[in-house]
Amino acid sequence: MDEKYNGLKIESKWQKFWQETGLNKTDSKSGKPKFYCLEMFPYPSGKIHMGHIRNYVIGDVITRYKRMRGFNVLHPMGWDAFGLPAENAAINSGTHPYKWTHENIEYMKAQINKIGCSYDWDREVTTCTPEYYKWNQWFFIQMLKRGLAYKKNSYVNWCSKCATVLANEQVIDTQCWRCDTVVEQKELEQWFFKITAYADELLAACDTLNGWPQHVVAMQRNWIGKSRGVEMDFPVDGSDLKIKIFTTRPDTLFGATFVCVAPIHPIADIIMDDKNALNDVKSFYGNEEEKRGVFTGKYVVNPMNNEKIPIYAANFVLMDYGTGAIMSVPAHDQRDFDFAKKYSLPIREVIVREKDAAVSTELTEAYEGEGYLINSGQFTGLDNKTAIEKIGKFLELASVGMVVTNYKLRDWGISRQRYWGTPIPVVYCKSCGVVSVKDEDLPVILPDNVSLKGMGGSPLSGVSDFLNTTCPTCGSNARRETDTMDTFVDSSWYFVRYCSEKDAAEPLNKANIDTFMPVDQYIGGVEHAVLHLLYSRFFSRVLRDIGIISCDEPFENLLTQGMVCKETLKCNEHGWLFPDETRNGNCIHCNSPVIRGRTEKMSKSKKNLVTPDEITGKYGADTARVFSLFAAPPEKDIEWSHQGVEGAYRFLNRLWNLLYTYADKLKTITVTPDKLSGKLVRKTHQTIKKVTGSIERDYHFNTAIASLMELLNEMSAFKPADMADYASLKFAFKSMTLLLSPFAPHLCEELWVSLGDSGKSVFLAQWPDFDEIAAKEEEIELVVQIGGKVRAKMMIPADSNDETVKAAALSHDKIRDYITGKKIKQVHIVKGRLVNIVLENG
């Protein structure tokens, strides 16, 4: 054992050892109980920062802990390698996306290995390889056969900058999720996956996601958005046209004073003459911040009261929810209220809080709560819940409406007009129509010879060798589909592919899949709460029905880790700056003062990054790991702190230096834990209990590391005097090494050897068990307060009952001085902590 702790030296040594001995490999035929731990795989965009590393290290701690607890752990890693960044980089630099992607993978893989993550690289997947995307295509064909993949003309979300379609989930506040460009509506023929076929099952199964954060489950429920209401036709006055309306509030039908349709609704073009005004509203379609509308010049008849009310085209009405048209009740819907005020439309109150309450003279806001109906014909006086049911039945009996269930969830549009993605495996034949590629002809290979610039549609449409083919059915000339699949298809089943090794003859071997699925612990960012997680739940059900997997839900437990945040730096002239682009508080490019901005999530765009190389190069990987785990519970954000990194480094150095002091002596000591006793042994058992509990209970690694720091303090203060003391100290060191090993694996491998277990990895040892009796405190210190002020401290047997504690406090010498001659009102006891005596009159 070297005198000085050298993280870089020992880390490369043990990483090589793990690789050569295959310590991290998973045995599909092991008889041990399985545990599948998975972090969301990264996009290979270049360098990894400490935000990524925190995610991977959380998973690695769980993996190493579970292995030491006797589980057969699957812990794989791969690359979500298709997508726009590679294609855009190719356009900007002239480097082919394949080359750019694989160079990044090699660099990032080296970074991940340096941090000491115990991945089984024999199961590595890269989604842009034909070996992987072949199965995207095969799944597509199976869904096409089952009616779950289909093509239709549809208004889609179009990002002009990315030049491609976006799914609804990829539009965040009317902007593209990748580049923040305002999204337009464009009519295109697109391929869809029928996720709505599983809407009820996906929603009902939310009740079973007990291992998920409840706010994520709520987001899933809200996105699926099941609602029960009525659907009815509002005739367009003076024509045979009808506008179909869906509403969840039939109790407010008598309060409808206008109707709004989506500006892209087909009827808007039919009934409105002023196309310029309509196009103006279309340009603001979906913008919730600025509500815009235009009167179409036409009216509908409300079938409940035969009143003619105006029709507006409004930007906030969405074509893909309900029927694309709504009845507007401004008195009882705030959005309608705001719109009515803006365009001076009538507001009619039809629900009041209290029965027989007076009508408001002028509403200042919509009343959206429950109450009683007024101004509602035969339904006046009913409470609104009863009215909803009765009006629904009335509409059905009158054959003017029907009670229906609707969902906010829309089918998943998977067509993308870009190159770097999975080719959709269909061809178009003049005789046979749409024909899927035969299974034996998969994969449809993405061509290399493609021009990525100047294409109005998909770049694949300019590759004649790819475009022109023959029909799989009749052999006639045919044209290939040139759209590629949404890259979320790649990530919707990758966890299934990991169950077999990457070179397996049967990549989707059902026995292997049944051995490991579902994932026991999934770890990733909350930003994927709808997009990736919902698609994965859908895909798992499709694969179940095809016969690939046996489980319904892909992820048993979900941990959404917090972000790593850091202060941002900015120059008025040069924008965001990396830390090394500043000197003495000024920008190195122009010498202007640097503006210190908010502490925000680490990101390339804000340049507030810390790479693992910066930390491992100076302190070692174990320091980076311990800091990222100690700074906060895994679900909370942490603020990057160089002081915190230094603190983690000091902790590891102290442990190293302490063992160096005793290593030669301790190697010769034999430890029999059940023969040991004393304060240090008790503290060790308590620490085993605390660390184990912190990991098992919500993975609170920060409290686990804090307990280990406390044990190190106890060990440092301990001065062995005889062989029994040295045995106690060795027991503490061995326990410390085992408990710390998932957090600082390289250091603990070295310590384990120094304690006499040469040649055998610490991760082949069992996790230590604690002795409940040995961990029990013989005496504890209690604080004694009078009126909330500390007046004394006393030692008392740990198992004392409340009466004994009370008697000891009242008889304490210092306390007697305060209470003599006074009347005691109450004595409060907080078990194991304090006694508070309350006196009459203070």
**653 and 756 both lie in a single domain:** yes
Domain for residue 9, yes or no?
A: no
Angle among Cα 265, 235, 303 to the nearest 5 degrees reads 125
Average pLDDT, stretch 656-661?
96
So what's the pLDDT on residue 283? 82
In a domain, 709, yes or no: yes
The two beta strands, 175-176 and 184-193, are unpaired
pLDDT at 686 over 60: yes
Mean pLDDT on 131-155: 95
pLDDT at 301 over 80: yes
Residues 61 and 204 in one domain: yes
* Range scoring the smallest mean pLDDT among 544-558, 603-617, 699-713, 751-765: 603-617
Mind listing the pLDDT tens digit for each residue in 11-27? 999 999 999 999 999 98
**Rounded to whole angstroms, how far apart are CA atoms 250 and 403?**
10
Average pLDDT over residues 285-303: 89
Q: What percentage of the chain reaches a pLDDT higher than 70? A: 99
What is the pLDDT, as a whole number, of residue 12? 93
Residue 3 lies in a domain: no
CATH number, residue 262: 3.90.740.10
The residue-averaged pLDDT of 572-589 equals 90
Task: Report the pLDDT averaged over residues 444-464.
Answer: 84
Are residues 433 and 377 located together in one domain of the fold? no
Give the rounded distance of the alpha carbon of 794 from its chain centre.
49
The pLDDT of 276-290, averaged and rounded, is: 84
Q: What is the pLDDT of residue 761?
A: 94
* Residue 169: per-residue pLDDT: 63
Q: What is the pLDDT of residues 364-406, one digit of tens each?
A: 999 999 999 999 999 999 999 999 999 999 999 999 999 999 8
pLDDT of residue 609: 80
Return the pLDDT at 799: 72
Residue 1 in any domain: the answer is no
Q: What is the mean pLDDT of residues 255-262?
A: 96
Determine the pLDDT at residue 832.
86
CATH number of the domain at 150, please: 3.40.50.620
Q: Torsion-angle region of residue 4: left (phi > 0), alpha (psi -120 to 50) or beta?
A: beta
Residues 759, 627 within the same domain = no
| Per-chain mean pLDDT for the chain | 92
pLDDT at 204: 97
Mean pLDDT for 647-653 is 96
Two tokens at 587?
Answer: 């920008």
Q: What is the pLDDT of residues 517-535, one digit of tens each?
A: 999 999 998 888 888 999 9
Is there a single domain that holds both residue 311 and residue 300? yes
CA dihedral angle for residue 102, residue 103, residue 109, residue 112, rounded to 10 degrees = -130
Could you give the strand order of the β-sheet that contains 789-797, starting from the edge strand earlier in sequence?
Answer: 789-797, 779-786, 834-839, 824-830
Task: Work out the pLDDT band at 842, boundaries 50, 70, 90.
Answer: low
Range of the domain at 690: 649-775
Identify the pLDDT of residue 318: 85
pLDDT over 70 at 354, yes or no: yes
110 lies in the same domain as 168:
no
Whether residues 301 and 246 share a domain: the answer is yes
What's the CATH code of the domain at 752? 1.10.730.10
Higher pLDDT among residues 344 and 290, named by residue: 344
**Is there a contact between 84 and 436 (Cβ–Cβ < 8 Å)?**
no
Verify that 542 and 480 share a domain, yes or no: no
Specify the higher pLDDT residue, 566 or 511.
Answer: 511
The pLDDT-based confidence of 579 (bands split at 50, 70, 90) is confident
Judge if 475 and 355 occupy the same domain: no
368 and 316 inside one domain: yes
One domain, residues 706 and 591: no
Residue at 107 is within a domain = yes
265 and 310 assigned to the same domain:
yes
Which residues lie closer than 8 Å to 386 by C-beta, 6 or more apart? Answer: none
- Domain boundary among the residues 392, 407, 422 is at 407
Q: pLDDT-derived band of residue 159, with 50, 70 and 90 as boundaries?
A: confident
pLDDT for the residue numbered 239: 94
User: Of 758, 775, 792, which closes a domain?
Assistant: 775
- Buried b / exposed e over 467-494, threshold 16 CB at 10 Å, is bebebbeeeeebebbbbbbbbbbbbbbb
pLDDT band of 813, cuts 50, 70, 90: confident
- Determine, yes or no, domain membership for 768: yes
Query: What is the model's pLDDT at position 619?
Result: 94
User: Are the CB atoms for 63 and 73 separated by under 8 Å?
Assistant: yes
Q: Is residue 10 part of a domain?
A: no
Q: What is the pLDDT of residue 356?
A: 78
Considering the domain boundaries, does residue 429 fall inside one? yes
Place of tokens 């730096």: 569
Q: What is the rounded distance in angstroms from the CA atom of residue 531 to the CA atom of residue 178?
A: 13
Number of domains in the chain: 6
In this predicted structure, the answer to whether residue 174 has a pLDDT above a threshold of 90 is: no
Q: For the segment 536-566, what is each residue's pLDDT rounded down to a tens digit?
A: 999 999 999 999 999 999 999 999 998 888 8
179-222, pLDDT tens digit by residue?
A: 788 888 888 889 999 999 999 999 999 999 999 999 999 999 99
Smallest CA-to-CA distance from 733 within 662, 664, 678, 674 is with 662
- pLDDT for residue 367: 94
Q: Which of 434, 461, 485 is the last residue of a domain?
A: 485
